[in-house]
Structure 1
Amino acid sequence: MYLNYFGLTDNPFSIAPNPDYLYMSPRHKEALAHLTFGLRESGGFVMLTGEVGTGKTTVSRKLLQQLPDNTQVAMILNPTLSALELLATVCDELGIAYDADKASLKYFTDRILAKLADNHQAGVNTVLMIDEAQHLMPEVLEQLRLLTNLETNREKLLKVVLIGQPELQQLLKRNELRQLAQRITARYHLLPLTAPEVSSYVAHRLSVANGDISIFSPQALKAIHQITGGIPRVINLLCDRALTLSFTKQHAVVKKPIFLAAAEQILGDDVVSQRIQSQRKWMLGTAFVLALLVGFGIGRLYV
């Protein structure tokens, strides 16, 4: 709708996972480095956590691109499975033939372990990546740990990447999962973007679509961070709506009031109002502390 009006060649804020728009902030790069290091170590598990929409999928896709060619990856996107269903899914992902009539934990485990041994013999690394891992049941996680028991003198034959929301951290603190928690060789919690990173994120996506950061006013860019909290997925939703509103009103630049109106349409008046009030309280608190420090400094001059 607004592409021609703003001179854009594509929708810069689509929530579709288009690799052309991949923005690796310093935080995402650090997360990727942790996971890459963990997979190179001898342990069996690496873990990436973060709030919804912070870019965990972005990091995982980049990780997949950087894995060596001699790597076979099994990807599980829906982990709400029983232990038996999980093992069957792993078999499907790794191309392991099995007889469904013989289905049992031992049968599937034996088939998978044989595949891991064959891959190792052929010089192939095996990686199991599980998204939304906070939904895994404790008994399923324990079954995963048992799969990583197969090892050589130097390394585990199966590396497992767990990707999930912060609840995953709490799940792994359970006493019955302490053995698995001790096998995590690298973990990283992905935080939202900072204010400067939000501006860079918006500028990057606009530039890919042949646009320019000047489409958003400086005040609007500050509001983007304030209202979205630096969550990339929310930034995309609100910026897309703000561009649409600016187009309908025939404004050449997205200004702060337009962005706030877009935010109210997507998030609701109460949420936007609450976040604005929180920001004001933070600013007043900061000003109060600074005033105390200045007063203390001036007072010392007269002592």
Structure 2
Amino acid sequence: MEDEAARETIAELLRAREEERALRLEAEGLAEALLLFTEPGTFAETLARIVEVVAQRLGAAAGLLIAFPEGADGEVIAATDPALSTTAWQSGPAFTRALAGRPVVSFDVTQLAEWQRQPEAVLTRYGSALHAPLQAGGLQALLVLAHPARAFFSARHVSLVRRLLPAAAQALARARAEEELARARELAHEREITEKLTLIEHQRAAMRALSMPILQVWSRILCVPVIGLVDEERCADLMEKLLVAVRATRARAVIIDVTGLDRMEASALALFLRVATAVRLLGSACVLAGIGPEVARGLAQEQEGEEWRAIVTYRRLQDALRQLLPSARK
């Protein structure tokens, strides 16, 4: 009896270890996907990258993005499989439900009216699909992930795609704002300077809001990828929004990811210290991740102050996640 109990205990421990490893890998994969979303690029490049990254993270064999202009049939605007890039799609019951905001899983695509209209070569290549809405920057589209096996997609896949798409929408809105800003700058040479400068300033404000998104990468864990120049105005805006997000999500930890910064001025370090102090006053931990050599030098120079000793730093975002995930700490 004692041997049997020992074997059961060992089996339970092994299962717990595997569950912990799966949880950590999933969180790391999610964090890496979010970082890829924030890479610079045009709106079209960002679209293609989002489809590819989401398909990879969910283990799908292919992904495509179908745009649905008002009153028109769907148009494929990005696809990882060339065979899908030339397909035509009409909205049916499943697409209508998904576009309304509810991801739809099909265990057998041949049972959906939208897929039944596709060529035989497509139907023989794919068995199941996951359909999820993606709306950003004036775009109303449907992200479709496909796999050869029937019944491949599960509730876990739906949960993952629900967590990835808000960050994808932010990345698309940021790319759209950057393109509009570039066009506005060109038009400024041809039109009244005062009018165009006002437009550019509004778009810069929109870009500032999008360039430091606040993402929930795990339950009660927030991440802020920092891109571009950090100034007083952007930092004040971040602090205001971050404190609201901490209260709303009851976050126990905030990761400020500075991977996208090659260097950080002393003034920027002081601004981040203010943000970290405010977050800690709400009872949440605040750490810095993605510390590069130049940023580390700046921190070393500033750490003579007592307040900097309370800031925990990590080389990579994944390292911070490993430490902050409850299962990893156990």
Which structure is richer in relative contact order (CA contacts within 8 A, separation 6 or more)? 1
Larger Rg: 1
Instruction: Identify whether the pair has TM-score above 0.5, normalized to the shorter chain.
Output: no
TM class by smaller structure: under 0.3
Richer in strand (by share): 2
Question: TM-score, length-normalised on structure 1?
Answer: 0.27
